[in-house]
Chains A and B, each alone.
Chain A
Amino acid sequence: MSVVGQQPPPFFNRGPAPLARLAFFIALSLLMLVLDLRFHTLEWTRQAVALVTYPLRRIAYAPVEGIQHGSGYFTTLVTLKDENDRLRQRQLSTANQLLRQEHLELENQRLRALLDMKLRQPATGQMAEILYAARDRFAHRVIIDKGNQQAISPGQVVVDEQGVIGQVTRTFPLLAEVTLITDKDQAVPVQIVRNGLRSVLFGAGAGNLELRFLAANADVQAGDILVTSGLDGIYLAGLPVAKVTRVDRDTAYAFARILCEPIAGVERHGQVLVLGRHEALPPAPPDPESSNRLDKGRRGKKKETQ
């Protein structure tokens, strides 16, 4: 190689050394990791790959779908009859409330108009079906069968007939990913029905939830029902989320350890409702200091960076 004008014969030429290639590819992978985790700029790659592999994914889902449908076909008449009876009973027991709901909502609107308050958002929603749980073992996500094409967008709340299941976190043209409330990175602003105490609920793994950062003497009891507080402008207020199962008050720690379990069938599969977008909250009142800062111009900015 060092001899001038001498090249190795082409059949020995295999490109860069393996270690150099390894370093290159590892750097590329790490770059992707950082870009995806920190800056979230790789969504277009994801969309492209998902679109190309969609037919394959759909075919791969066929056998599972077949098994599900097949087992549904062989459900015995007795179970169906039982379920039918149970549903009819439930319908009767809630009929009273349902019949009066329209009347109550109208009355509520009139009263709110009288009080000059902002109208409560009417909940709109789209039915969707949970297809399967995502393969990623490190997170709790499920895939539903509606996507961009059906006007599903990230941030929408997903509920079933009993309560909140999770939130849409990523959408593809025909599918969407829902992060369940039991996921470690998912937080839901809640309040306790009994006394209106507000807090934030986090996933704790293994199908559990945890109320964090509540003082050791906070008024929380086992059996309390938690509903969404609606403070974030994403979740509608009043959706049932979880039930407190255990409260550990250890004086050694500043905070109580409060474990909850979800009310909705979070780890089960079936039909869900994707709630429509909550109307954006009115802009926060202007900060009186901000106008002064604008006047100061560059000098103020410099101070901030220091």
Chain B
Amino acid sequence: MIQPTHYSNRILRPVRDWFVWLTLLLAMFLSMIPVGQLPGYPEWVALTLTFWCIREPFKVGMGAALLIGIVLDVNSASVMGQHSLAYVLLAFTANGLSRRILQFPLPQQALQILPLLLGTQLIMLATRMSVGSEFPGLTYFLESFTSALLWYPLTYLLLLPQYQPHEKDENRPI
């Protein structure tokens, strides 16, 4: 059944590899914008990585997460391995939960993404606290909430190329 809905059971065109990597690169770029220690700045990279890990579990996985984590470690001036550890675990969980999460409508998907992102932050917190860094305050966790709110618009944005039909047909609903 093909209907003009945006539920995940809608038939999509296959994703292009370069688009996946381009969006991940864009997310890294957004994370490099120097907003300082502004609380609640979305975790673009974690969000995009989760998205592709859920949508394309055979294309994006733990290896990509490790590489992206290393770049983020350097650019955020944190300890090497902090982001990569958290993102590898995030990718593993997202890959595993992929089929389950995709069954839900988007708002409920966002609700299921939230614990994943919070878990990622908790892992980073545990890593740094265990080596004696100071606690950054509860506003630290605000980032996950703003990121989860972005799940809905982000899904539309990232699936946009896949919505396009091969050949335009005015009589066809999609």
In the complex, what residue of chain B is closest to A170 when comparing beta carbons? B77
Contact A46:B80 (CB < 8 A) given known A29-B66, A56-B32, A184-B132: yes
Question: Counting CB contacts under 8 A, is B167 at the interface?
Answer: no
8 Å CB contacts to B: which residues of A2-38?
14, 18, 21-22, 25-26, 28-37
Return chain B residues, CB-CB under 8 Å to A59. Answer: 29
Cβ 8 A contact of A133, one of B28, B34, B89, B127? B34
Contact indicator A135/B80 (Cβ below 8 Å)? no
Contact A177:B77 (CB < 8 A) given known A29-B85, A33-B127, A131-B34: yes
Contact indicator B31/A25 (Cβ below 8 Å)? no
Cβ 8 A contact of A33, one of B65, B76, B82? B82
Contact indicator B34/A36 (Cβ below 8 Å)? no
Give the shortest distance, in Å, between B98 (CB) and chain A (any CB). Answer: 11
What does the 1/0 interface line of B121-155 toward A look like (CB < 8 Å)? Answer: 00000011001111010001000000000000000
Question: Counting CB contacts under 8 A, is A116 at the interface?
Answer: no
A29 to B127 alpha-carbon distance, docked (Å): 11
Return chain B residues, CB-CB under 8 Å to A139. Answer: 77-78, 133-134
Question: Counting CB contacts under 8 A, is A98 at the interface?
Answer: no
Question: Counting CB contacts under 8 A, is B62 at the interface?
Answer: yes
Contact indicator A32/B84 (Cβ below 8 Å)? yes
Contact indicator A132/B36 (Cβ below 8 Å)? yes
Interface 9-residue window, one of B67-75, B104-112, B156-164: B67-75
What does the 1/0 interface line of A104-138 toward B look like (CB < 8 Å)? Answer: 00000000000000000000000000011111111
Question: Counting CB contacts under 8 A, is B79 at the interface?
Answer: yes
Question: Counting CB contacts under 8 A, is B115 at the interface?
Answer: no
Contact indicator B80/A30 (Cβ below 8 Å)? no
Interface 9-residue window, one of A60-68, A74-82, A279-287, A295-303: A60-68
**How would you classify the secondary structure of chain A's contact residues: helix, strand, loop or mixed?**
helix
Return chain B residues, CB-CB under 8 Å to A63. Answer: 33
Cβ 8 A contact of B33, one of A42, A64, A133? A64
Give the most central of B33, B132, B134: most A CB within 10 Å: B134
Contact A137:B71 (CB < 8 A) given known A18-B95, A184-B134: no
**How would you classify the secondary structure of chain B's contact residues: helix, strand, loop or mixed?**
helix
Contact indicator B34/A29 (Cβ below 8 Å)? no
Contact indicator B74/A46 (Cβ below 8 Å)? yes
Give the most central of B29, B66, B80, B88: most A CB within 10 Å: B80
A202 to B44 alpha-carbon distance, docked (Å): 34
Interface size on A, residues (CB 8 A): 45
Return chain A residues, CB-CB under 8 Å to B132. Answer: 184-185
Question: Counting CB contacts under 8 A, is A200 at the interface?
Answer: no
Question: Counting CB contacts under 8 A, is A86 at the interface?
Answer: no
Contact indicator B133/A26 (Cβ below 8 Å)? no
What does the 1/0 interface line of B88-100 toward A look like (CB < 8 Å)? Answer: 1100100110000
Contact indicator A137/B63 (Cβ below 8 Å)? no
Return chain B residues, CB-CB under 8 Å to A42. Answer: 80
What does the 1/0 interface line of B26-47 toward A look like (CB < 8 Å)? Answer: 0011111111110000000000
A268 to B58 alpha-carbon distance, docked (Å): 46
Contact indicator B33/A26 (Cβ below 8 Å)? no
Return chain A residues, CB-CB under 8 Å to B29. Answer: 56, 59-60
Give the shortest distance, in Å, between A169 (CB) and chain B (any CB). Answer: 9
12 more contacts with CB within 8 A, not counting A21-B63, A56-B29, are A18-B95, A31-B81, A50-B75, A53-B32, A60-B29, A64-B34, A134-B76, A135-B31, A138-B78, A143-B34, A170-B77, A184-B133
21 contacts across the A-B interface (CB closer than 8 A): A21-B61, A25-B65, A25-B66, A25-B84, A30-B81, A31-B81, A33-B81, A33-B82, A37-B131, A42-B80, A45-B74, A53-B75, A57-B75, A59-B29, A61-B33, A132-B35, A135-B31, A137-B136, A139-B77, A141-B77, A143-B34
Instruction: Sort A-B residue pairs by CB-CB distance and give the 9 closest, nearest first.
Output: A132-B34, A32-B81, A33-B81, A29-B85, A134-B77, A36-B80, A133-B36, A138-B133, A60-B32
> Which B residues form the contact surface with A (CB < 8 A)?
28-37, 58, 61-63, 65-66, 69-71, 74-82, 84-85, 88-89, 92, 95-96, 127-128, 131-134, 136, 140
